[in-house]
Structure 1
């Protein structure tokens, strides 16, 4: 058995092959940052390998694992899908102690990554004429949308820009074109869209099309950025050294709020 817990990074999954490729590239970067750490990739749906299969494979070589959700918000997948899959895996593999880390969202390195992506397309960000849209997929869980709005509000307060606001592709408003129009009405001479999204896919493509149609430049998804990789490791480290045996061998495997 390995001395340390395996890191099992779980993403949502997508029919778009670019999504899985981006997650794989991100985990390759995590491996480069932490040589010797056993890093596995898993998906909840639509892509392979699935989380239960990966945890079964980990059980053959480890007695501990940390599941790190590659999710930016604490919405349905983080609150229900991941904990449910982990509980089932703990029941099937009683010799494998499993702990689930916090989602990536909320860590400052993640915002740094988004700002780097933004600067790559918008140029210097110290421009009082700049308006920024923080664009997310959107959720029926209002607190998840509110977290994106807080990011935009924080950027607006610190930046000296003409403004910043959140926008959503589904389930909530405003839309990207509506947000772009709001920022222009507030005095923004140019507008850039920062996707609060990990990887490419159908809805990120819609956000990009809507942004360009509204005359805004759009950054790439967060992807395989060093700051994102460092956030994954920070979430892993926050729970990897804790006593997880009793947690995983009961049915009480919950999403950690650590970090």
Structure 2
């Protein structure tokens, strides 16, 4: 790969994507000064239409402020995707820090879209009296054989409507899926599929991402799912994203309507990610049945369905954070956590394998975190119920030396607020009133933190890489007692 000069005399100003690598705490002014120097070197009135970086740096206030001042979106890419892009100046130091040998150059190329080339290679900021805090590179449309430029993207991404359930930001053309085989998707039996992106590779529209939540009639849960879709759409504008609920009759955001909306936009392939922590067990309108009906309504629509998310390490970190929030930061010392027991509460099903996933999550949450114990309870269809679980926590706390009362944190093991959370709170408050000597605290639901978007995209790419989308369109979601106990393990 070589750098190219920006347009000749009379050429239109280049609209470029800027990839930015940053140290934690980098000031916005340093980023803007670096970008100004890079644009000045390019010349010709070039301007930046998007900033891009690695997911691990997407929350940096300096980068966010720089994008805000420029009036452009800040895009972020997983380290694995950036690492798959060939660049002129890979760095072992960068790879050790954020998991990819290139941030600035690779992010610029991905943000600039299919067929892009580097206009300006990596350069470092030069603050006085301290090490460089930022790097940047600029990428834009390739030069054609006739000396012109390929189609350029116009301006910053339009913000999706707050009510939009399907996010396809039209100002950013779809980027090719690195999991899509270059032969149009028809892989030879036994052939290994590579996910490296090279300039000039054939471009195919990636499969849509369909997020399937378990039915709720609660508006706050519905809005939380919409928010997750908006965030995913903003971070990955090249991938069509939609969401819906299954398993509840006449609920909001029906999954089938989400599928119909995607098909109306020209989608022919779906990667379905169930937003579940464990299999649902037998439910009305189960996910495989909903997807099968959608396939019958839309001949030629292929889908692949992943397993429930399960106790993914990143989600376990979020659960630990919810515990700290409930404790008010007062149980960070080993001796404080040692006198705290946790009750992890799942929905509960008639499926033993699904219930066992909650028990497995409790064990993983307990490992190495210093709590006296992590017990489990269920809200319906199986035991132990919440009062029985609290009784066990009280006994465990006493055995751990927390005294006759001790402290218990009740931790809901589901994503959204709603009727389940209210039922849990009522049962917890009733038990606490009967046991005034025990301190009982309630933690929040998982919600839709940044870690969830990372897990969903990780599962999306794994599902596409498996490529059942182009063969039998099978469904890997599990709902019956025959499920294998490997939910969440990849």
TM-score greater than 0.5 by the shorter chain = yes
2:251 aligned with 1:47: yes
Query: Secondary structure in 1 aligned to 2:338?
Result: coil
Structure 1 spans left out of the alignment, 5+ residues: none
Give secondary structure in 2 for the equivalent of 1:76: coil
3-state DSSP of counterpart to 1:67: strand
Q: 1:165 is matched with which residue?
A: 375
Provide the secondary structure at the position in 1 that maps to 2:462: helix
> Cα gap change, 1:28/1:114 in structure 2, threshold over 3 Å: closer, same or farther?
farther
Shift of 1:130: 0.8
1:118-161 residue CA offsets vs partner (Å, 9 max, x unmatched): 21112335411010011111111111111111221233342332
1:18 aligns with 2:18: no
Contact persistence 1:10–1:41 (CA under 8 A): yes
Give the aligned partner of residue 5 of structure 1. 207
Larger RCO (CA under 8 A, 6+ residues apart): 1
- 25-34 vs 141-150, which deviates more? 25-34
Could you tell me which residue of structure 2 aligns to residue 89 of structure 1? 294
- What is the RMSD of the two structures over their aligned residues, measured on CA atoms? 2.4
Q: 1:143 aligns with which of 353, 365, 382?
A: 353
Instruction: Find the aligned partners of 2:211 and 2:243 in 1 and give their Cα distance.
Output: 5
Whether the 8 Å CA contact 1:140–1:171 is kept in 2: the answer is: yes
In proportion to residue count, which structure has more helix?
1
Task: Select which of 251, 254, 260 maps to 1:56.
Answer: 260
* 4+ residue runs over 4 A deviation: 77-80
Shift in alpha-carbon separation, 1:30–1:77, aligned structure 2, 3 A: farther
1:116–1:78: structure 2 CA closer, same or farther, 3 Å change rule? farther
1:67 corresponding residue in structure 2: 272
Query: d(CA) in 2 for partners of 1:32 and 1:87?
Result: 29
Q: CA deviation at 1:243?
A: 4.4
Contact 1:8 1:66 (8 Å CA) reproduced = yes
Larger radius of gyration: 2
Aligned equivalents of 1:116 and 1:157: distance in 2? 15
Give the deviation of 1:73 after TM superposition. 0.7
Q: Is 2:424 the partner of 1:207?
A: yes
Q: Deviations over 1:198-257 (max 9, x none)?
A: 101112111123234424111111112112222221221111232412222xxx434387
Whether contact under 8 Å (2:306, 2:477) holds in the other structure is yes
- Cα deviation for residue 79 of structure 1 reads 11
TM value normalised by structure 1: 0.89
> Aligned-pair distance for 1:29?
2.8
| Corresponding residue of 1:245 | 470
1:237–1:80 distance in 2 versus 1, CA, 3 Å: farther
TM-score, structure 2 length as denominator? 0.49
Structure 2 gaps of 5+ residues are 1-172, 175-204, 433-438, 479-486
